[in-house]
Structure 1
């Protein structure tokens, strides 16, 4: 069969220069699969007969990219480069380890990834296991019966490929998958993290999580969620803990589709469609936030959906029965945040990611406390304190809060309650995007040095507290000039004496 794989022209030039330096070089795996599906690929895997590390390093030099040794003993190399359009490409180079390309392909995970193209014969597809047929017939099966036992992380890949490519997992593959789920703890934290985030950044994350639950994977990858299954929640909740979390995840996915891509799923609840109309003015600004991240290999979208999964995992540890007989979940946001951070640490997330995750999960209940009918000063104070607690992650807290409210009340949600939830988010988003200098981060009339020189304050807790009081007074409009600032500071100093 003939095939045409697209390479960015920079990579074409690099491969042309370095191919003569090795005996053989094959393109394998996902890029070929994507070509058959008429999809663009940004990841290219190469099998090399020759000096793999030297070839990878030379490729990086030509492309002016970054070179890494992934496994020195097995001679695995990686190259990262960004083309002229700013698109990041990942190139992995591994040695031909079994003497011939057919044996190497048989050792891969699934038939759909066990294809190759000899770069010396770029139009000819090497497809020994019927991958093209499996793709055409929407079938996912392993190359060998031992595939999952050889590498248990492949059970997560099976979920990802099934969901993202719309493939049915073959019944024999299902049996082998279920048999090897318990081996997931043997997989390194980094590899589990990478596969989990590929799922979180893919299609139908909700469906993927439900599939992982059906195969019994959750205790081995996201064990905190297991406690929510059949966890009863009192009114106003209309679902148990697991059902509620799945709904929150689904609604957060819908919001990602809208705010990241401007797309509205017509199957999403009418209440969410109303929300998108109400918050339309912020769509482009939030879209820009989706382009940001803390590490190049993981997106803010994946972290946001992880926050959705973890927002209530602390409820079992936070429930208390009060004297009125009602069950309350005291401080469950903080407890959930601590559990999310612990899981994030075990998955080797970066510190910046952990701080963001802690803030979004820990503050997801704060939005409901924003007053809408109070005096303007009280409203501005609440907005200021919200962003002092949540910082830049407050935007994501707003979106998570909307999903949480909708999942909590379900069909019992009144227009009045939903309208107030939207008004609070509109207020908070408007403050962040349009009034940040006035409501959130005003230019202080006095800084710390000024307080020391003019008012004789010494560095320490008192000075810090007065600065914070001044910042809040300016943000709420109580203080608007130097005279009012002087009065506030002198009053604070007197109260401290």
Structure 2
């Protein structure tokens, strides 16, 4: 639903000054798709920038954060929670390394159709006159939305800005649209241009792709178009790598099911979390490199693939600067490295369960169980989740008992250790590891008196550990 902006003073002032005011781009698209509006983008015609800024200053708070684009961030006094992007009509051409810079020409008298023509797809090249409600649709974007089609506004749109290659992918996956045949042909022809786009811009589109109900749809489009080996070479290498006990299934198909489960399964506590989605995407990335088949028995193994997969994930996330969009890259690698475990080993053994929590960490343990659930959903028996769900309950129950899981939970601190005659240094770490080993087996030992006695009684053993 497009909000009614007519009663805002800045709109009234712009109208009185002779301005034409249009809602444009994604705001119009989302309105026609009956989706919540995330952004409000306005184009103002017939008022030069020198006259526009004083008008806005009287009626709200603004900043020219996008000076190179002629974009003004504006918040009206009447609604401090409403942020609007306001711009004059403009043309723009991408320039510079990584297509990060643009040559922008703003003109208050520029025909609105020329402003819309610079946009990526017809569904984003529409405007609505805020005062009259009239739709301006020179490129039949409304028709394409009705037919669920993604179509470029002009030939060479992908050449002009190759990031649009990934934008087409994520829009198709998020909205369940088809890419028009001629547009898909242009996408295939120009796929290699994605290598010219900066990592910072690429990773933003991947994050948007992860918002799709089924991110696998976007990856399959990348696969068909030739983008996949250019953006995700290690995911592309999964194709054709068959797995034992999974007839005619390769690692790629399994990974796509795991990714979709991580995105939206109700059994996963943090479904849709971008960090966990990257863990799902790369959890088996090491299998192509580690696959071994015994020529005599035909037995297939992927020994140490979890460690190799973690390394692959870490390198990709660093290359594409995933931390800039809030991805916990260390957690991704940690989860992948630890995702291979037998559920039944911990269900009836509290000592083993506490050591498992200690190894993984109290906070990451539930993320790891989410990854394990998604991995199971991508396997042969996707509905047999009872064991993992039971383990999750057991983990939560054990954590609620508040036993010691880390050295910080011990009933003594460094000062207490010093009272026994020890000086800060490597011996402190050995003492803490020794005590943790004891209290993980028996939490009842975690009292100051017992721990100090354990240190005293095992002095010789502790000193030997340093040698």
TM-score tier (shorter): 0.7 to 0.9
The change in CA–CA distance for 1:18 and 1:210 in structure 2 (over 3 A counts) is same
Q: Secondary structure of the equivalent of 1:112?
A: helix
Question: Is residue 312 of structure 1 aligned with residue 284 of structure 2?
Answer: yes
Counterpart in the other structure of 2:274: 302
Contact 1:138–1:167, Cα closer than 8 Å, also in 2: yes
Summarize deviations over 1:219-259 as a string: whole Å, max 9, x none: 1211110111111333478732112212212322342xx1x
Counterpart in the other structure of 1:379: 353
Counterpart in the other structure of 1:102: 113
Give, in whole Å, the separation in 1 of the partners of 2:334 and 2:217. Answer: 26
Cα RMSD after superposing both structures: 3.7
Counterpart in the other structure of 1:243: 253
Contact 1:448–1:467, Cα closer than 8 Å, also in 2: no
Scaled by the length of structure 1, the TM-score of the pair is 0.76
Q: Secondary structure of the equivalent of 1:446?
A: coil
Query: Where do 5+ consecutive residues of structure 1 fail to align?
Result: 259-275, 277-282, 291-299
Question: Is residue 44 of structure 1 aligned with residue 40 of structure 2?
Answer: yes
Contact 1:367–1:424, Cα closer than 8 Å, also in 2: no
1:218 to partner: Cα distance: 0.5
Choose between structure 1 and 2: higher helix proportion: 1
Give, in whole Å, the separation in 1 of the partners of 2:440 and 2:58. Answer: 50
Counterpart in the other structure of 1:398: 369
Q: Secondary structure of the equivalent of 1:47?
A: strand
Within a 5 Å distance, the mapping from 1:72-83 to structure 2 comes to: 72-77=67-72
In structure 1, which of residues 333, 346, 367 is the aligned counterpart of residue 306 of structure 2? 333
Question: Is residue 113 of structure 1 aligned with residue 124 of structure 2?
Answer: yes
Give, in whole Å, the separation in 1 of the partners of 2:243 and 2:354. Answer: 33
In structure 1, which of residues 141, 150, 154 is the aligned counterpart of residue 164 of structure 2? 154
Q: Which structure: larger Rg?
A: 2
Summarize deviations over 1:113-166 as a string: whole Å, max 9, x none: 1111344x2522211122222222323211112212211111222222223223
1:478 to partner: Cα distance: 4.8
Counterpart in the other structure of 2:96: none
Give, in whole Å, the separation in 2 of the partners of 1:105 and 1:443. Answer: 61
Give, in whole Å, the separation in 2 of the partners of 1:463 and 1:380. Answer: 22
Give, in whole Å, the separation in 1 of the partners of 2:356 and 2:292. Answer: 27
Counterpart in the other structure of 1:360: 335
Within a 5 Å distance, the mapping from 1:7-46 to structure 2 comes to: 12=8, 24-46=20-42
Q: Secondary structure of the equivalent of 2:273?
A: helix
1:184 to partner: Cα distance: 0.7
Contact 1:26–1:46, Cα closer than 8 Å, also in 2: yes
Compare 135-144 and 90-99 and name the one that shifted more.
90-99
Give, in whole Å, the separation in 2 of the partners of 1:302 and 1:480. Answer: 38
Contact 2:213–2:264, Cα closer than 8 Å, also in 1: no
1:334 to partner: Cα distance: 2.4
Counterpart in the other structure of 1:132: 142
Counterpart in the other structure of 1:280: none
Within a 5 Å distance, the mapping from 1:97-246 to structure 2 comes to: 97-98=90-91, 99-119=110-130, 121-235=131-245, 239-246=249-256
Contact 1:47–1:94, Cα closer than 8 Å, also in 2: yes
Contact 1:466–1:489, Cα closer than 8 Å, also in 2: yes
The change in CA–CA distance for 1:370 and 1:118 in structure 2 (over 3 A counts) is same
Contact 1:6–1:40, Cα closer than 8 Å, also in 2: no
